[in-house]
Chains A and B, each alone.
Chain A
Amino acid sequence: MTVRRWTRTSKLFTGGTGVVALLLAIVPLVFGPDIVQKTTTLLILILLAAMWNALAGYGGLLSVGQQAFIGLGAYGTVFFAGLDIPPYLAMVLALVVAGSLSIPISLFALRLRAAQFAIGMWVIAEVASIAVRLDQNLGAGTGISLSQLYQYDPNYRQAYTFWLALAFTVVFLAAIFFLLRSPLGASLQAIRDDEDAARSLGVRVAARKRLLFVLAGFGCAAAGVLIVANTLFIEPGSVFSVQWSAYMIFMVLVGGLGTFEGPILGAILLFAIQTTFTQGGPWYLVGLGATAALFALVLPRGLWGTIEERLGLRLLPVGYQVVEKKK
């Protein structure tokens, strides 16, 4: 028996994901702006799910306030674009600035225990929302649009936004992938399984958690940037809404908390549900909430986690496999 990182399945699959990424890149060249916009939405969901999973699944940090960074990323974009900075540059700038706010916030947020952390982050999102609402230049309570993007032809605009979304998603997923494969990765797993035991072994729990928190901050800010680029109009009530947290929780719980592939599966599921039930409305949300609660209580490993466990399957090489050596 040997311990291996790469099995044949995982080699195939990793190669496969590379191919998928390349295929996605040509989507805007093949399909019209409607489909491109929808696919951008899917990418945003994948990004959000991956980030929330990084926090809760690998760091044990349950945040009900990541919408703070989403909103700050979105409004940051509008703000910088308003300073006559070219829109796509403004987006990158907003990502950097909004994401960096996670660093000072982490200094005290990470000292909080479970419920205080969760709701504390929510209050921070509310504070950000109120701050924006008080600013007339940012459209106050009624919202504002990223008018600077109107200068582009809709086809080009949608394509640029899509590629930016693809780039962000790939970068952040890759960041998590390499994080898990690094020596850091094993310690992250240990922290999730038993924090005190990990600490007693010398694992620098606080530093690891900060890394995840900052990563998630940047990732959610990126999602916020993409949201305003994709929908062009934002208002505090929607972009700072705790609804985003509800979506993230659903995607990760149903997909598989603490797995790499799970959040992606959850995002695809949510996207499928959203496009089928375009009416939206209360019944659909009742279903989401009830499903999330049910998974938390009955199937905590989520769909992917359960599949992984039952079939012993690992598609991407983020763990170690004990393999029987064939004679």
Chain B
Amino acid sequence: MTVANAILQGIFLGAFYAVLACGLSLMFGVMRIINLAHGDIAVFGAYVVLVVVQSTGLSPLLAFLVALPAMIALGYVLQLTVLQRALKGGILTPLLATFGLSIVIQNLLLLQFSPDVHSLGASAGALTTESWNLFGSITIPALGLVVLAVAVVVFGALHLFLSRTRPGWRMRATAEDPDAAELIGIDSRNVYATATAIAVAIAGLGGLFLAIRSVFDPVSGPTQLIFAFEAVVIGGMGSLWGTLMGGLALGVAQTLGAQLNPEYAVLSGHLLFLAVLILRFGGVRLARFGARA
């Protein structure tokens, strides 16, 4: 695999990370909460799709559309029960509460499904196996292309939502100043619930892609959370497009690391993350890349 191809594969991988990270970034941008159960919610979404596929025989992508309402409902419930309460506590409360939630989700999944790994790669058929070859060394997998396209569409749609629609303005206003927003008639609870519902739905999408491109089991959540968080931080916390860039950067770092040694893949991502943290905060005064950390 040449370096050029590695970078390209990194972009495809990074698009997946970006989708995983999108919801996490939105929740942070609107509510200043980092949902430590985010990865587990994505995995939960993968399991919902799995159940739909196994019981109806639909293709995973169609199955996701069936699962989507369930994910949206989950988002609303999550906000109105756990997160709304957590917002009233200190800075640590949401982290602690979502950490506990993460453990609950993982183990409930373990109880319902076995510890075995599953994958939806087979059910996705041609999507998983199809790829095109260019100039001998460049491979373009169909799945990678689809994920990249979906990532761009999702981020683009979210951007349009926030910049062009009134509900989007309401969300931005509430994110900036929830008290002032209330004073002009915005129900902040509703706004937060919508943001969480969107975040959970997109997390479910991330779970779908995880299931297709790889294997997953009930405890895959934390790994996805770390990747998602690394993407958000690398791209700059509080910036939606930054999260997309961060995801791509993370993917490329991992594939380039794998060029040296396959065992270095994940490690390279971690090192990039730590390097960004050190550069941004560790006493080296660089310009803030639009990061409102």
Instruction: Find out whether A and B make contact in their complex, taking CB atoms under 8 A apart as touching.
Output: yes
Chain A interface (Cβ < 8 Å from any Cβ of B)? 56, 60, 62, 64, 107-108, 111-116, 118-120, 122-124, 126-127, 130-131, 133-134, 242, 245-246, 249, 253, 282-283, 285-286, 288-294, 296-297, 300
Residues of chain B contacted by A290 (CB below 8 angstroms):
100, 104
A293/B274 in contact, CB under 8 A: no
Task: Tell me how far the C-beta of A255 lies from the nearest C-beta in chain B, rounded to whole angstroms.
Answer: 14
A249/B283 in contact, CB under 8 A: no
Residues of chain A contacted by B99 (CB below 8 angstroms):
64, 245-246, 249, 289, 292-293
A64/B103 in contact, CB under 8 A: no
Contact with A along B92-117 (1 / 0, CB 8 A): 11011111111110111011000000
A113/B86 in contact, CB under 8 A: no
Contact with A along B70-108 (1 / 0, CB 8 A): 000000000000100110011111011111111110111
A118/B95 in contact, CB under 8 A: yes
Choose among B103, B222, B282 the residue that contacts A107 (Cβ–Cβ < 8 A).
Answer: B282
Contact of A283 with B111 at beta-carbon distance under 8 Å, contacts A111-B282, A126-B226 already known: yes
Choose among B96, B108, B293 the residue that contacts A253 (Cβ–Cβ < 8 A).
Answer: B96
Question: What are the nearest 3 A-B pairs in CB distance?
Answer: A293-B100, A289-B103, A108-B282
Task: Tell me how far the C-beta of B154 lies from the nearest C-beta in chain A, rounded to whole angstroms.
Answer: 23
Asked if B177 CB lies within 8 Å of chain A CBs, one says no
Q: In the complex, A134 Cα to B264 Cα: how many Å?
A: 9
B107/A127 in contact, CB under 8 A: no
Beyond A118-B34, A134-B263, A296-B92, 14 additional contacts (C-beta under 8 Å) are A114-B91, A114-B92, A116-B233, A119-B229, A120-B274, A126-B226, A127-B274, A246-B103, A286-B104, A289-B104, A292-B96, A293-B100, A296-B97, A297-B86
Residues of chain A contacted by B107 (CB below 8 angstroms):
282-283, 285-286, 289
Closest A residue by C-beta to B108 = A286
Task: Tell me how far the C-beta of A293 lies from the nearest C-beta in chain B, rounded to whole angstroms.
Answer: 3
B222/A62 in contact, CB under 8 A: no
Closest A residue by C-beta to B266 = A130
Asked if B51 CB lies within 8 Å of chain A CBs, one says no
23 contacts between A and B (CB under 8 A): A108-B281, A108-B282, A111-B282, A112-B277, A114-B95, A115-B34, A116-B237, A118-B95, A119-B226, A119-B229, A127-B267, A130-B266, A131-B267, A249-B100, A282-B111, A286-B108, A289-B99, A289-B103, A291-B100, A293-B97, A293-B101, A297-B93, A300-B93
Q: In the complex, A302 Cα to B203 Cα: how many Å?
A: 32
Task: Tell me how far the C-beta of B151 lies from the nearest C-beta in chain A, rounded to whole angstroms.
Answer: 22
B96/A249 in contact, CB under 8 A: yes
A123/B263 in contact, CB under 8 A: no
Closest B residue by C-beta to A286 = B107
Task: Tell me how far the C-beta of A103 lies from the nearest C-beta in chain B, rounded to whole angstroms.
Answer: 14
A62/B270 in contact, CB under 8 A: no
Residues of chain B contacted by A114 (CB below 8 angstroms):
34, 91-92, 95
Residues of chain A contacted by B97 (CB below 8 angstroms):
293, 296-297
Choose among B111, B274, B293 the residue that contacts A123 (Cβ–Cβ < 8 A).
Answer: B274
A282/B270 in contact, CB under 8 A: no
User: Which secondary structure dominates chain A's binding surface?
Assistant: helix
Task: Tell me how far the C-beta of B254 lies from the nearest C-beta in chain A, rounded to whole angstroms.
Answer: 12
Task: Tell me how far the C-beta of B220 lies from the nearest C-beta in chain A, rounded to whole angstroms.
Answer: 13
Residues of chain A contacted by B85 (CB below 8 angstroms):
297
B222/A242 in contact, CB under 8 A: yes
Which residues of B171-201 have CB atoms within 8 Å of chain A's CB atoms? none
Task: Tell me how far the C-beta of A60 lies from the nearest C-beta in chain B, rounded to whole angstroms.
Answer: 7
Closest B residue by C-beta to A126 = B270
B293/A113 in contact, CB under 8 A: yes
Residues of chain B contacted by A296 (CB below 8 angstroms):
86, 89, 92-93, 96-97, 100
Q: In the complex, A130 Cα to B85 Cα: how many Å?
A: 37
B89/A297 in contact, CB under 8 A: yes
Asked if B36 CB lies within 8 Å of chain A CBs, one says yes
Residues of chain A contacted by B101 (CB below 8 angstroms):
289, 293
B270/A127 in contact, CB under 8 A: yes
Residues of chain A contacted by B225 (CB below 8 angstroms):
119
Q: In the complex, A133 Cα to B270 Cα: how many Å?
A: 15
Residues of chain A contacted by B233 (CB below 8 angstroms):
116
Closest A residue by C-beta to B35 = A115
Q: In the complex, A10 Cα to B114 Cα: how many Å?
A: 51
Q: In the complex, A62 Cα to B277 Cα: how many Å?
A: 17
Q: In the complex, A131 Cα to B264 Cα: how many Å?
A: 9
Asked if B273 CB lies within 8 Å of chain A CBs, one says yes
Choose among A108, A116, A293 the residue that contacts B96 (Cβ–Cβ < 8 A).
Answer: A293
B100/A120 in contact, CB under 8 A: no
Q: In the complex, A154 Cα to B234 Cα: how many Å?
A: 50
Task: Tell me how far the C-beta of B108 lies from the nearest C-beta in chain A, rounded to whole angstroms.
Answer: 6
Asked if B65 CB lies within 8 Å of chain A CBs, one says no
Contact of A122 with B226 at beta-carbon distance under 8 Å, contacts A127-B267, A292-B96, A297-B89 already known: yes
Closest A residue by C-beta to B96 = A296
Asked if B271 CB lies within 8 Å of chain A CBs, one says yes
Which residues of B228-281 have CB atoms within 8 Å of chain A's CB atoms? 229-230, 233, 237, 263, 266-267, 270-271, 273-274, 277-278, 281
Residues of chain B contacted by A122 (CB below 8 angstroms):
226
